[in-house]
Amino acid sequence: MTEDITIGKKLKAKFPEAVIDGKTFRGELTINIHKDFIQKAAGFLYEDNETAFDYLSDLCGVDLSRLDGSNNFEVVYHLYSMKLNHRVRLKVKIPASNPSIDTVTNVWKTADWHEREAYDMFGIIFNGHPNLQRILTPEGFKGHPLRKDYPLKGRQPETLRGIYREGKQ
């Protein structure tokens, strides 16, 4: 697709050290970005008239530890341009030993909820987030349930087990 080539080339030309690689699969462009450049790349893709990615439709975390044995997490950004009707996916690897990356809430307000969910489920820290706190698990919940190392029969404190048993979620 022509717009895929344009998006990838524009980003690579603007931030050559930021782009690791990119590929198109089944008509969808994915660009892998170095974590230190996520705010710059996001801001550029949002502001540039030829890309105009004005909507962050999803942001999610992925635990790659059992998929590729890398001991990394990945943050995946799904962007859409309402003006130009095209999409792109950005992927950023971060080490599980230091799962942190800069927030993109300053670019897309919708990142607020998505980043909080990734924090809650994976323990990924979004530096500069205005309100980084758990959003899906109850107060006092221990651990991050979508990590591959989270025990399948993980036990929570008795007060939380009582909440679940009594259906008071």
> What's the pLDDT at 140?
83
> What's the pLDDT at 8?
86
Reference 8, options 16, 25, 58; nearest CA is 16
CATH number of the domain to which 53 belongs: 3.30.460.80
Q: Which stretches of the chain drop beneath a pLDDT of 70?
A: 1-5, 154-169
> What's the pLDDT at 158?
58
Residue 46 lies in domain: 2-135
Q: Is residue 143 one of the residues assigned to a domain?
A: no
Q: Is residue 92 one of the residues assigned to a domain?
A: yes
Whether residue 72 contacts residue 95, with contact meaning beta carbons closer than 8 Å, is answered with yes
Question: Structurally, how many domains does the chain consist of?
Answer: 1
DSSP tag of 37: G
Give the amino acid at 1.
Answer: M
> What's the pLDDT at 155?
67
Q: Is residue 18 one of the residues assigned to a domain?
A: yes
Q: Is residue 163 one of the residues assigned to a domain?
A: no
**Local structure of 2: helix, strand or coil:** helix
Whether residue 71 contacts residue 95, with contact meaning beta carbons closer than 8 Å, is answered with yes
**Helical residues (DSSP H) of the chain, grouped into ranges:** 2-14, 38-47, 111-122, 158-166
* Beta strands per DSSP E along 4-150: 19-25, 28-33, 55-63, 72-81, 86-95, 100-102, 125-127
Tokens representing 17?
């050290």
Q: Is residue 23 one of the residues assigned to a domain?
A: yes
Give the amino acid at 139.
Answer: E
> What's the pLDDT at 153?
72
Q: Is residue 158 one of the residues assigned to a domain?
A: no
The number of C-alpha atoms within 13 Å of 127 and in the hemisphere containing its C-beta is 10
> What's the pLDDT at 3?
55
Q: Is residue 146 one of the residues assigned to a domain?
A: no
Q: Is residue 167 one of the residues assigned to a domain?
A: no
> What's the pLDDT at 99?
96
Tokens representing 159?
């007060």
Can you tell me the distance from the alpha carbon of 15 to that of 51, in angstroms, rounded to the nearest whole number? 15
